[in-house]
Amino acid sequence: MRVLAAMSGGVDSAVAAARAVDAGHDVTGVHLALSRAGGTLRAGSRGCCTVEDALDARRAADRLGIPFYVWDFSERFRDDVVEDFVSEYRAGRTPNPCMRCNERIKFAAVLEKALDLGFDAVCTGHYALVREGRDGLELHRAHDAAKDQSYVLGVLTAGQLAHTLFPLGETPSKALVRAEAEARGLSVASKPDSHDICFIPDGDTRGWLAERVGAERGQILDQSGEVVGDHDGAHAFTVGQRRGLRLGVPAADGKPRFVLEVRPVSNTVVVGPKEALATSEIAGARFSWAGAPALAAGEEAACDVQIRAHADPVPARARLVDEHDGARVVVRPDIPLDGVAPGQTAVLYRGTRVLGQFTIDRTVSAAPVGV
């Protein structure tokens, strides 16, 4: 096949491209320029898509003997990922920019352009598996549970899976990927993994948001409505947060308090006991299936639900219901979920298979009345 290898400048995408070459594909490398700040440099393991990353990707492509290009997706990344991140926080929700990037950039814009140019598939260094199932292609967890990235790939559709290659999905460990890169003479063999939000390389999300949303002082309330502290902007808080609350009034029982709710309209934050974070039901109208639809309207089925990239999956029952404003996926976990925030992504699994995902827009508390 003609394969476009998305090369971030890291070890994973370099080895994935190398394996695609070994498989006999006609491979071309591409690096995505997602920022107009051309002088941006990497700070250790923070950040990605920098000048250094582009140079590392080019060196890897040269080593593999494949053509290499840089595609400028900075405008679309700004509009579809960065501005979405800001607007979600402004609305009091907790977004996942990696999900949006995979959904709108890497497996929408890039794949669309690749197909238009005559490529058959896009190859990436993600740790996940695409398998042929009874009803078509399926997305599954990677063999290496510690590196599995199926959660952030839960937004992929059946059509996208048909044109996607994940050569690292069956690799038992990241150590073997690094050893392979070393053996191939790839200079990125020992390069640190990126973490945190790539467009906030210093890791100061609160300060970054304050510059764009604005810092406006507001009140922190307990569940009874009593003022127990103040803040410099509700956007800086997320449900489940414990640290950095600066509460001036201690809880009556002396126990720590957590953020229970963010109210952007009134610029207030509500705090309370950990028990009040328990959630018995989540739902979302914005959903997609990773392959064949997992539910029909009115149908209910057993599954596992995962609400964070590195959280443990929880057994649950999911159903697809028709409501006045459209269809919605509703999930009731067997064990109450902790610290669920609107805007988070819930990914549904059956065993290792990813069924689909939805953005949480409604939650039901599992806490007794008065807690």
Rounded to the nearest integer, the mean pLDDT of the chain is: 91
The yes-or-no verdict on residue 251 having pLDDT over 90 is no
Decide: pTM greater than 0.95: no
Active site residue 198: yes
Q: Which two tokens stand for residue 217?
A: 């002082």
Pair 19, 2: CB distance under 8 Å: no
Residues whose CB is less than 8 angstroms from the CB of residue 330 and which lie 6 or more positions away in sequence, other chains included = 281, 282, 283, 318, 319, 320, 321
The yes-or-no verdict on residue 46 having pLDDT over 60 is no
Active site residue 98: no
Cα–Cα distance measured from residue 5 to residue 117, given in angstroms and rounded to the nearest whole number: 14
Could you say which of 49, 98, 123, 198 is catalytic? 198
What pLDDT shows up at residue 39?
46
Q: Over range 281-286, report the average pLDDT.
A: 95
The yes-or-no verdict on residue 43 having pLDDT over 70 is no
Could you say which of 98, 101, 123, 303 is catalytic? 101
Phi first, then psi, for residue 234 (nearest 5°) are: -65, -25
Cα–Cα distance measured from residue 310 to residue 245, given in angstroms and rounded to the nearest whole number: 24
What pLDDT shows up at residue 137?
96
- State which amino acid sits at residue 126: H
